[in-house]
Amino acid sequence: MGMMNLLVLVLFLILLFLLVLVTRPTSQELLDVVQPPSNDSQWQCGCETPPSHGEASPSDFPNLLQYNAYKVIQRFKKTITSDPNNVTATWVGYRPCTYKGFSSETPPDRKNTPTIASVDFNGFHLCAPTLSGFLDQLPDLAIFHANSNGFSGTVPNLTSLPFFYELDVSNNLLTGQFPSNLLALDEHLFLDIRYNSFAGSVPVGIFRLGLDVLFLNNNGFSQPIPASLGTSPVAYLTLANNGFTGSIPASIGNTSNTLIEVLFLNNRLSGCLPHEIGLLQKATVFDAGANHITGTIPLSFGCLKKVEQLNLAGNLLYGHVPSVVCNLAETGSLLNLSLSDNYFTSVGISCWELIENKVLDVSRNCIVGLPNQRSLLECARFLLKPKCCPLSAYIPCPLNHPDSSDDVLPLPAPAAKPTGQASLTYNAIHNTHSK
């Protein structure tokens, strides 16, 4: 009986061993429990993040371009001294195009090789001592937006980036001369370096680029505006709040088919208003306020049929405000004509209605009988000084308004300065994060 029990026990143990051997999971099955097999379609798409397994190597990335971009980004990450929004916490893993602020595209000369083509740091408030070694080391980069950050130093040399065409480093801490290396970027279409501390002159070549938008406002630029302005295809130009000197180049008339908005506001410009401004047939905004421009308003300004905002306030202009300009409120698109803080002595017939409707502001001039004018002594001191600007009667367009006379009528009630409509260039000087 004892032998029988022993035999049964041995047989039971043998059966139990065989059962365990048959049902034991393989090593691969155990691995699948803690790490599901990679999805080949995700791996090939270029922007899904595979698991990290230590130090990165080229084989971890969809292509060598992304591996190189990864190394550049990680080096730049180490230089960042402030990251209040914790943006760089997303800059991990082997898919750089999933990092916050980075986007990928396939370069035109390489099929099926997506890589970093666009960087958008707008409003991230990152701080770093330089963009060199980062921006210039992403060879397939086309767009870089970094509005409202704390980047210092200068704009790095971007001539090695063949696809680059759009740069916005506005509202940072950049310094130095105008980044002349940008002149080598033939395909550059958008340049915004406003609200920095750039200084010195603006190079002649900047107006020979194929720029649509050029925002240089709120820096420390000085010296005259280059006459090459007339060669520029730019549509939106703001040079406001700098220290530019000299006259507005007469060559501006050559931009008649392209220039839509231009701001010369708050510089140290002087000289006479060139009659060529009247050739700007597409201009909707022309602002040369707060300068030292003198002379009379050329009659050619009556040809600015599309202008909505015309600001010449805060200058040294004098003489008569011509009816042909005021007529633009009826025959054109004029919404706001600001001529305050000058030395005008009379206005044309068509101007009175604009004053009544608060379209025209002629406060603080020398118009006898109007309230809120300069004192007689102040006017006399200015008007007795020698004047050197010639009267310009050139009108390069037909005037169909029945009232083109400039007779002076009794004065109506004074007007307050109207509020103008928003525009791209005005946003550029009033809003540091407009794009």
pLDDT tens-digit series, residues 219-258: 999 999 999 999 999 999 999 999 999 999 999 999 999 9
CA distance 123 to 145: 10
- Cα–Cα distance measured from residue 365 to residue 415, given in angstroms and rounded to the nearest whole number: 13
**CA dist., res. 77 & res. 68, Å (int):** 14
Q: Which top CATH class is 71-430?
A: alpha beta
pLDDT digits (tens, 9 = 90+) for 54-97: 688 898 899 999 999 999 999 999 999 999 999 999 999 999 99
pTM for the full predicted model: 0.82
Domain ranges of the chain: 71-430
Residue 392 pLDDT class (50, 70, 90 cuts): confident
Residue 240, SS3? coil
Closest CA to 281 of 250, 309, 255, 310: 255
Distance of CA 367 to the CA centre of its chain: 40
